[in-house]
Chains A and B, each alone.
Chain A
Amino acid sequence: MKVREYASVIEQKEIAAGIFSLWLQTEQIAGEAVPGQFVSVYSGDASRMLPRPISICEAEPDGRLRLVYRVAGHGTEEFSRLRAGETLEILGPLGNGYPVHDILEIPAERNLAQFSGKSGNDDPAKRVLLLGGGIGIPPMLQLARALQAGDGTKVQIVAGYRDELFLTEGLAAAGKLSIATEDGSAGTKGNVLDAVREQGIAADVICACGPKPMLRAVKAYAEENDIPCWLSLEERMACGVGVCLACVCQSKEVDGHSHVHNKRVCKDGPVFRSTEVEL
């Protein structure tokens, strides 16, 4: 159930240049959020009418909600100035997150053959690979935690940065963490798939969030290797709840709403099976 709340700010910190971590106290939203969902965040300035969609990084049963976002314009710059005790209007949780239950149901060892040597048959654990690129990294934290709860599931995270790292401590605690940086300052030089290839990381399932070129490459990689894969998409939104039809993506099948090939990222997604969408 999506609700509008005036959440109070618990704490805000700049965790990398232009990347902010905002902890909010919510009444209902955090308690209901599943990994991969987002919230609409409203500006306090009426001249900025449209909500900013921001992914959920962490959601605690006690109502604490963590958003980690990049300052990309005037709206997010305004949010970055919020201090403890101030309030923020948010609507959520929105969209469909990663289907954690379905992911945990997928059998292990689907793809051992193609990964030479790395994955021994003596280890029957299912390997879930989480790929986060840039500001697509934050939702991987809550997802990793949720997947860790599954018996016999190994969570491997690959986080791809431009240069400066963030959230690495939390991610390392939630799974086995590998890093890629575009400038080569940490981990593999290159993108998340360069790290996957260089480090020989095998997977039975992939979940990814990041910029479109990255998602396009991940989709191709998953389909070439016959690995079930979920992608979280981003598109410019207005309403955030499926009304305005701004944030559509091209879908393989005819969509249920308009009976064309346009699924709504905000309502039908943002998480889709990779085979469901054309990127």
Chain B
Amino acid sequence: MNTKVRLAGVELKNPVMTASGTFGSGAEYSEFYDLSALGAVVTKGVANVPWPGNATPRVMETASGMLNAIGLQNPGIDVFLERDIPFLQQFDTKIIVNVCGRSEADYCEVVERLADAPVDLLEINVSCPNVKEGGIAFGQNPEALRHITQEVKRHAKQPVIMKLSPNVTDIAQMARAAEEGGADAISLINTLTGMKIDIQRRTFALANRTGGLSGPAIKPVAVRMVWQAAQAVQIPVIGMGGITCGDDAIEFLLAGATAVSVGTANFANPYAARDVAAGIEAYMRKYQVEDVRELIGAVNQD
């Protein structure tokens, strides 16, 4: 049985990765299981300098999901290079660094600093709904997305994944813009912008007022968008949004994803990403699938 997939020239032992921001740089969940069980670890977004993030409360549970507005708190690239990358090198898993910034120059600076680091892939976060500058501003306009993709590609040594926002009218158009800009892969979906109001206090539940909705509540939206994006581009698509088990991951593969990321489910189950990898194998055994790649985009379109 083969579970290996190739993503922009990088071979993953299985299609399961972690969604940025839900796994730190792996240290905390490595206390629960060996991260070598995963195809790749995608780190929390890292910027050129430390970011303090938003005021609290930063999270709120919602039906089958949650809202977050962390605001990309991160230690900046210096600490990250010194501490987080060497930590991840202990494991037999690929390292994907998620990069955030407030301007094109910020993104390019981080990407350049990572050029000589033992990093397999870069994921560019142009879809965070919770920061005032940067983030989603680059991810909601096809021209801006194409431009930043080109700029990042000029500075990047590693293959580049552009992480797309679902908060757009036409996801296929955004996927094509990333591809035209030279992206080696795209990942989607980031969170959907949402809001919750505390009716007892009559206040916004989050200090930031709006937050990003994630979890199983958004999975059908994610599967639909992954399918539309996969139809629109030739580059590989990484699917995510509400995956909690192997069966969920299979849906994304059938929709056209080459790999999948497990996000919010990590908070509900510290073993979630490992369980998803095991669940994919269980599905393959049950349906006698010899090669996981047979499943990619294999939804019957008749």
Interface residues of A (CB under 8 A from B): 1-2, 4, 42, 46-51, 75, 91, 235-249, 257-262, 267
Contact = CB atoms under 8 A, between A and B. Distances in A.
A237 B267 CA distance: 10
A242 B52 contact: no
Contact of A46 (B68, B74, B216): B216
Contact of B75 (A248, A257, A261): A257
B86 interface: no
Interface string B48-84: 0011110011111101111010100111100100000
A235 B70 CA distance: 13
A253 to B, nearest CB: 14
Given A244-B59, A244-B68, A247-B56, A50 B29 contact: no
Interface stretch (B16-24, B226-234, B252-260, B284-292): B16-24
A91 B70 CA distance: 23
A243 B24 contact: yes
Nearest to B76: A259
A49 B31 CA distance: 21
Contact of A51 (B23, B53, B58, B268): B268
B24 A262 contact: no
A246 B28 CA distance: 15
Interface in B1-40: 21-24, 28-29, 31-32
Q: Interface centre among A244, A257, A259, by most B CB within 10 Å?
A: A244
Nearest to B217: A47
A236 B57 CA distance: 6
B66 A248 contact: no
Contacts of B142: none
11 contacts: A1-B31, A4-B271, A46-B64, A49-B216, A236-B60, A237-B59, A238-B66, A243-B22, A246-B70, A248-B53, A258-B73
Nearest to A265: B56
Interface of B: 21-24, 28-29, 31-32, 44, 50-53, 56-61, 63-66, 68, 70, 73-76, 79, 215-216, 244, 264-268, 270-271
A238 B59 contact: yes
A272 to B, nearest CB: 15
A32 to B, nearest CB: 14
Contacts of A245: 44, 53, 58, 70, 73
Contacts of B215: 49
Nearest to B57: A236
A78 to B, nearest CB: 13
A235 B268 contact: no
Contacts, number: 111
Contacts of A257: 75
B57 A261 contact: no
A1 B31 CA distance: 8
A261 to B, nearest CB: 7
A237 B60 CA distance: 8
B28 A258 contact: no
A237 B70 CA distance: 11
Q: Interface centre among A238, A249, A267, by most B CB within 10 Å?
A: A238
Given A2-B31, A258-B50, A262-B73, A243 B23 contact: yes
Contact of B28 (A4, A42, A49, A241): A241
Nearest to B215: A49
Contacts of B23: 243
A243 B76 CA distance: 16
A242 B271 CA distance: 15
A248 B268 contact: no
Nearest to B25: A243
Q: Interface centre among B28, B63, B216, B271, by most A CB within 10 Å?
A: B28
Contacts of A261: 52
A51 B66 CA distance: 12
B189 to A, nearest CB: 18
A240 B65 CA distance: 16
A49 B244 CA distance: 10
Contacts of A235: 56-57
Contacts of B53: 245, 248, 258, 260, 262
Contact of A239 (B65, B76, B266): B266
B68 A50 contact: no
A50 B205 CA distance: 15
Contacts of B270: 4, 91, 239, 241
Contacts of B68: 238, 244, 246
A240 B267 CA distance: 8
Contacts of A91: 270
B203 to A, nearest CB: 13
Given A243-B23, A243-B266, A50 B52 contact: no
A74 to B, nearest CB: 9
Given A49-B64, A244-B70, 17 more contacts: A46-B216, A47-B63, A47-B216, A49-B65, A49-B265, A49-B267, A50-B59, A75-B61, A236-B58, A238-B267, A241-B270, A242-B28, A243-B29, A246-B68, A248-B56, A258-B51, A260-B53
